[in-house]
Amino acid sequence: MQTLNVVIAQSNPRVAQELTAALEQHFDFVYNACNLDDARHAIAKYRARVAILDVELVSLSEVDNLRRQFAGLCMVCTHRLADEEMWTDAVDAGASDLYDAGDFQGILLAALRRISATRPAAA
């Protein structure tokens, strides 16, 4: 069975720490990336199935690049001032969803919902 690993790339260290605490209970491994290159490397190294990406740290064009590079990666984007237009742009770039950076429950549910939808059925 494939492990459930997640990479977090957040510009706010407090948000990253709180997200880590929320996600550790549901994922096998949580890695906090300090920048886009670190996130890209960690996604490949740890075979992450989920990436939580702050669009203040990772641009939407980079989200699109990650979508192309890592087929099947669930990307949930965050922003401190998320709005409907930004949500549309994020989804168009390949994100599963966009949440306010402080909506830890919404971020977690979006990631788990996508993982559940792509997980093979037990034999």
pLDDT tens string 28-76: 999 999 999 999 999 999 999 999 999 999 999 999 999 999 998 999 9
In a domain, 103, yes or no: yes
The CATH number linked to 34 is 3.40.50.2300
Instruction: Note down the domain range covering 64.
Output: 5-118
pTM to 2 decimal places: 0.89
pLDDT tens string 89-105: 999 999 999 999 889 89
CA distance 97 to 88: 9
Query: What confidence tier does 112 reach under pLDDT thresholds 50, 70, 90?
Result: confident
CA distance 38 to 9: 9
Total structural domains within the chain: 1
> Rounded to 5 degrees, what angle do the CA atoms 64, 110, 79 make?
60
Per the rule left: phi > 0, alpha: psi between -120 and 50, beta: everything else, 17 is alpha
Helix axis angle, 13-23 relative to 104-118, nearest 10°? 50
Half-sphere exposure of 95 (CA within 13 A, CB side): 27
Q: What is the DSSP letter of 58?
A: S
In a domain, 123, yes or no: no
